[in-house]
Amino acid sequence: YQGELQTVRAIKYGYNYFDSSLLGDLNQDDIVNVLDVVFAVNFVLGAEELSTTQLQIADINDDGIVADQNVNLNFQVFYSILF
**Residues 17-69: tens digit of each pLDDT:** 455 678 888 998 888 889 999 999 999 999 999 999 899 888 888 888 999 98
Q: For 58, phi and psi rounded to 5 degrees?
A: -75, -25
Where does the pLDDT of residue 15 fall: very low under 50, low under 70, confident under 90, or very high at 90 and above? Answer: very low
Statement: the pTM of the whole predicted model exceeds 0.85:
no
Taking CA atoms, 47 is separated from 32, 38, 42, 43, in Å, by 20, 10, 5, 6
